[in-house]
Amino acid sequence: MRIVSVRATGLAASVARPLHFGIGAFPSFYATVVEISTDTGITGVGECIVRKGPQVTKRIVEELLAPLVIGKDPWDAEGLWQEMLGQLRRWGHSRGFLVEAISGVDIAIWDVLGKAVGMPVFKLLGGCGRDRVRCYASSIYFAGVGEMVAQAREQIERGHTALKVKIGRPPEQGGLRMDVATVRAIREAVGSEVEIMVDANGAYDAATAVRVGKHLEEADVAWFEEPVPPDDLEGYARVRRALRVPIACGESEFGIFGFRDLIARRAVDVLQPDIARVGGFTGARKVSALADAYHLSVAPHTGFSGGICHLAALHFAAATPNLGAYEAMFIENPLMDIFTESFPRPSAGYLSVPQRPGLGMEVDWEKVRGFTVE
């Protein structure tokens, strides 16, 4: 079996009501979809994470990566991954758009392999004896305290047993006092049995994060996510030393090297690799093994990405022995609905994994064309 073509498509979609969180307002969603075809007629799909400029990732896939994999055997997934990364690694490019582009190609390769042997990807990865994964509802974004409490109650009524709350408001929106008041109100509303994760998206400096974290301890939160900017490793370590709340991060990391540094600085308790940023299944497996060696849990990030990323992350979660929880997004995101059927829905705090070969769901290309960026 040989790869004969690699195609990338940039997608964009807007929502009527922008989401507000620690980074700012987010009115649009982006993704780059990768399609790999083989000489056996098997086609696989993948997705590169995109926050701005999907055409940038498209160009990298088609001009830098496609020539490296066309004509090659997809069963050499590890070798192809190393070759793609090695193309520019010695020139300092082992992060950023390049690795995000590699992620989409790698996911598509694993989709091909699963289809070739008639096996879902999570089984091909080794499986963990599970066909459903524990999940949490994500996320409750900035609004009035009453509205955020109402959203939390709604998710619990739908059967969720854990949920994520955004904090990190700027001063003009009430700042840290409003953050603390919101978490306290939600804890009172949902009771002591529900797990609450909080996510600052790097909005605080270390001193402020510690100050907020002391209040979060009283609210018994499950983890404090991205308390400081992703490049402030010393800040992460300082926050973790000061608090009893587990620290989670990693959605902004690009692979095993960044996670290695976080672990070496004793800065993290829960690793959150995004499969569409960390190097696809091949890269994510490396992070999972590293976490396992240090007895840390893995909670795959999904966020604002499209449906293929969420689907791939679900397979990765099912095959991860040290899984914490999968991020099940309930927000409006048009790019989630690009399949011929509906994406799996959580039930009683769990999400079932598709059992058909490869990623287990077929892309509706007519829907994709509706979001394509020319």
Asked whether residue 228 carries a pLDDT value surpassing 90, the answer given is yes
| Band of residue 179 on the pLDDT scale cut at 50, 70, 90 | very high
Mean pLDDT for 140-155 is 97
Mean pLDDT for 353-369 is 97
pLDDT for the residue 117? 98
CATH number for region 3-118+366-371:
3.30.390.10
Mean pLDDT for 147-175 is 96
Mean pLDDT for 1-11 is 98
- Taking only the tens place, the pLDDT of each residue in 61-93 is 999 999 999 999 999 999 999 999 998 887 777
- Which helix (H) or strand (E) covers residue 121, if one does? helix 121-124
Cβ contacts of 352 within 8 Å, gap of 6 or more: 131, 132, 344
pLDDT for the residue 99? 96
Q: Are 140 and 152 in contact (CB under 8 A)?
A: yes
For the chain, the average pLDDT equals 96
- Cα distance between residue 160 and residue 308, in whole Å: 23
Residue 126: count of CB within 10 angstroms of its CB:
10
pLDDT for the residue 185? 98
Asked whether residue 130 carries a pLDDT value surpassing 90, the answer given is yes
Span between the terminal Cα atoms of the chain, in Å: 32
pLDDT for the residue 94? 81
> Domain ranges in the chain?
3-118+366-371, 123-360
pLDDT for the residue 92? 73
Q: Are 270 and 236 in contact (CB under 8 A)?
A: no
Mean pLDDT for 358-372 is 97
Percent of the chain with pLDDT over 90: 95
Q: Which residue, among 332, 266, 324, 278, has the nearest Cα to 304 in the 3D structure?
A: 332
- Cα distance between residue 191 and residue 362, in whole Å: 40
| Band of residue 247 on the pLDDT scale cut at 50, 70, 90 | very high
14-23, 139-148, 255-264: segment of lowest average pLDDT: 14-23
Asked whether residue 241 carries a pLDDT value surpassing 90, the answer given is yes
Mean pLDDT for 134-157 is 97
Burial (CB count <10 Å: 0-12, 13-18, 19+), residue 231? exposed
Angle of the 206-218 helix axis to the 233-242 helix axis, nearest 10: 30
pLDDT for the residue 95? 87
pLDDT for the residue 209? 98
| Band of residue 196 on the pLDDT scale cut at 50, 70, 90 | very high
Asked whether residue 60 carries a pLDDT value surpassing 80, the answer given is yes
Q: Which residue, among 315, 232, 226, 333, has the nearest Cα to 276 in the 3D structure?
A: 315
- Taking only the tens place, the pLDDT of each residue in 23-33 is 888 899 999 99
Mean pLDDT for 312-319 is 98
pLDDT for the residue 63? 97
pLDDT for the residue 222? 97
pLDDT for the residue 214? 97
Does CATH number 3.30.1330.10 belong to domain 123-360?
Answer: no
| Band of residue 258 on the pLDDT scale cut at 50, 70, 90 | very high
pLDDT for the residue 88? 83
